[in-house]
């Protein structure tokens, strides 16, 4: 099992739809990450959104289930699952989106001398990160399209993380590829650092992709903004990959114990 992160006395873990979420907001999660030793064995964080919960509960993806089980920390990402957790179950799990966590880390935690490894993205993204934050050690590996089904390409990505040790490892090759890769790196056992599966976060942070305005985000409508901006790539993500979370929530409402929703507990995941 992954090592537990250190926690404050009032830090709780609350299981929602089968995932043991840390009751930490963006700032609290960033502080937990910052407190971890830079030489500690590789561990990874998953910021689970509606599509993650659907993949776990409706698709019952065995590979994804194993990946979730070995994660070091889980945070809740997505306005819809956050709303469901509060309105249907009365849970108080703070929202901690991957994009907000990434911004918090770069703005307030990551120092210029911290080594960073990125899997995915582009050279332009790397250039902008280095320029904006004065970073001195950034390693970038961009796997080919469809790499997760190519054993040689997967091995190359794992080897890159192992041979370029970094305190922070950003995995931005899309879900669930980032999560699968994080699990494989963890299983290898020879890497260090903390892996963050954070989707388009670095593209938002560097301005390569425009994120929804704060007004959209406050209203919990970032998903709608992204659907309007790029319908061809988000129709399936919203209506096929994510919307079945309402079915999962309805099932859990009828049988909460089957989804591990038996109250909060203290400590790490």
CA distance linking residue 201 with residue 117, whole number of Å: 15
Residue 8's pLDDT band, with cuts at 50, 70 and 90, is very low
pLDDT at 225: 61
pLDDT > 90? residue 176? yes
**33 near 194, Cβ under 8 Å?**
yes
Buried b (16+ CB within 10 A) or exposed e, 138-155: bbbbbbeeebbeeeeebe
* Mean local confidence (pLDDT), 131-138: 97
pLDDT at 229: 74
Longest dimension (CA), the chain: 53
The H-or-E segment that residue 196 falls in is strand 194-197
What residue has token string 């990946």?
Answer: 67
pLDDT > 80? residue 226? no
pLDDT at 195: 98
Residue 227's pLDDT band, with cuts at 50, 70 and 90, is low
pLDDT at 233: 73
CA distance linking residue 214 with residue 70, whole number of Å: 33
Residue 34, classed as helix, strand or coil, is: helix
Q: In what order do the strands lie in the sheet with 116-119?
A: 73-76, 43-48, 194-197, 168-171, 116-119, 138-141
Q: Nearest 10 degrees: CA dihedral of 69, 74, 80, 86?
A: 100
pLDDT at 9: 40
Q: Which of 7-16, 154-163, 168-177, 247-256 has the lowest mean pLDDT?
A: 7-16
If you average pLDDT over every residue of the chain, what do you get?
Answer: 90
Q: Which residue has the higher pLDDT, 5 or 116?
A: 116
* Mean local confidence (pLDDT), 116-139: 98
Residue 228, classed as helix, strand or coil, is: helix
Give the whole-number percent of the chain exceeding pLDDT 70: 87
pLDDT > 90? residue 147? yes
Q: Which of 171-185, 187-201, 232-246 has the lowest mean pLDDT?
A: 232-246
Residue 241's pLDDT band, with cuts at 50, 70 and 90, is confident
Most confident of 3-7, 10-14, 128-132, 225-229: 128-132
CA distance linking residue 119 with residue 161, whole number of Å: 8
CA distances from 234 to 119, 195, 202, 222, 245 (A): 22, 25, 18, 12, 16
CA distance linking residue 73 with residue 256, whole number of Å: 22
pLDDT digits (tens, 9 = 90+) for 30-69: 999 999 999 999 999 999 999 999 999 999 999 999 999 9
pLDDT > 70? residue 151? yes
60 backbone φψ class: left, alpha, beta (φ>0; ψ -120 to 50):
left
**185 near 156, Cβ under 8 Å?**
no
pLDDT > 80? residue 262? no
pLDDT at 269: 44
pLDDT at 6: 43
Q: In what order do the strands lie in the sheet with 19-22?
A: 19-22, 12-16, 265-266
Q: Could you count the other beta carbons within 10 Å of the beta carbon of residue 84?
A: 23
Contacts of 193 by beta carbon, 8 Å cutoff, 6+ apart: 38, 40, 42, 115, 117, 161, 165, 166, 167, 168, 169
pLDDT at 260: 85
CA distances from 87 to 83, 91, 250 (A): 6, 8, 12
pTM of the model: 0.90
CA distance linking residue 227 with residue 230, whole number of Å: 5
């Amino acid at each position: 099992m992954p090592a537990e992160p250190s926690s404050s006395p009032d830090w709780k873990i609350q299981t929602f739809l089968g995932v043991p979420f840390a009751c930490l907001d963006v700032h609290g999660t960033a502080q937990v990450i910052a407190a971890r030793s830079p030489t500690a064995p590789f561990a990874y964080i998953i910021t689970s959104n509606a599509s993650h919960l659907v993949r776990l509960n409706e698709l019952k993806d065995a590979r994804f289930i194993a990946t979730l089980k070995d994660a070091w920390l889980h945070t809740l990402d997505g306005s819809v699952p956050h709303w469901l957790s509060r309105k249907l179950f009365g849970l108080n799990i703070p929202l901690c989106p991957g994009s907000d966590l990434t911004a918090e880390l770069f703005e307030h935690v990551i120092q210029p001398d911290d080594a960073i490894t990125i899997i995915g993205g582009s050279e332009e993204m790397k250039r902008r990160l280095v320029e904006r934050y004065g970073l001195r050690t950034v390693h970038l590996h961009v796997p080919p399209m469809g790499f997760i089904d190519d054993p040689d390409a997967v091995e190359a990505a794992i080897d890159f993380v192992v041979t370029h040790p970094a305190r922070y490892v950003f995995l931005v090759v899309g879900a669930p590829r980032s999560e699968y890769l994080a699990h494989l790196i963890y299983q290898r056992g020879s890497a260090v650092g903390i892996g963050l599966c954070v989707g388009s976060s670095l593209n938002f942070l560097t301005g390569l992709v425009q994120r929804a305005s704060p007004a959209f985000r406050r209203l919990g409508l970032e998903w709608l903004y992204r659907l309007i901006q790029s319908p061809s790539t988000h129709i399936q993500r919203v209506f096929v990959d994510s919307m079945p979370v309402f079915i999962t929530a309805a099932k859990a409402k009828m049988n909460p114990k089957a989804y591990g929703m038996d109250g909060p507990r203290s400590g790490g995941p």
